[in-house]
Amino acid sequence: MRARGFFCLGGLLLLSVFSRLGLAQNGTFPSIELAAGMYRIEAEVAATQQERMLGLMQRKSMPMQKGMLFVFPTPARHCMWMRNTYLPLSVAFLDAQGRIINIEDMQPQTDDSHCAARPAVYALEMNLGWFRERGIGTGFPIAGMAGVPNGR
């Protein structure tokens, strides 16, 4: 009887953790539509510390028009890494106006740091080469940022 209570309590704790992560029961993040010129982006939004820590970890694939927008609470030279991330990605660091500061290519399952060249408020991860293949680079504006929640 005691063991069953322990497992019920453990299940409630896990449910609480997932609730705090702000994740839906299917493991998805809230999303927003962005645009890079004529290219539409369906971006999942990671606005809390827990969401940013989880990011795109454990995913095996991602459609080309999808990505993840990391929202930070303050501008800084934020860095990204690829621990437990199976997809090769490109990350664009963005300033408060949504302009690209720099883009870094990242290889799966590495702990290499990929950092903003100057203080950034956002980081947009897309499949590897997405920005380059579309001629998108430093200074390019990402539209739709007005609807992004504040980082927490």
Nearest to 102 by CA among 129, 133, 123: 123
What span, in angstroms and rounded, lies between the C-alpha atoms of 58 and 102?
25
Cα distances (Å, whole numbers) of residue 117 to 12, 17, 70, 79, 87 = 42, 34, 16, 10, 23
Question: What pLDDT is attached to residue 35?
Answer: 97
What percent of the chain is predicted at pLDDT more than 70?
A: 82
Question: What pLDDT is attached to residue 23?
Answer: 44
Average confidence score pLDDT of the chain: 86
Higher pLDDT, residue 7 or 79: 79
Position 147 confidence tier, pLDDT thresholds 50, 70, 90: confident
pTM for the structure as a whole: 0.82
Q: Is 139 exposed, middle or buried (0-12, 13-18, 19+ CB in 10 A)?
A: exposed
Residue count of the chain, please give it: 152
Least confident of 11-20, 74-83, 91-100, 116-125: 11-20
Task: Write down the domain spans for the chain.
Answer: 28-147
**Cα-Cα-Cα-Cα dihedral of 80, 85, 87, 93, to 10°?**
-10
CATH superfamily of domain region 28-147 = Protein of unknown function DUF192 (2.60.120.1140)
Higher pLDDT, residue 9 or 99: 99
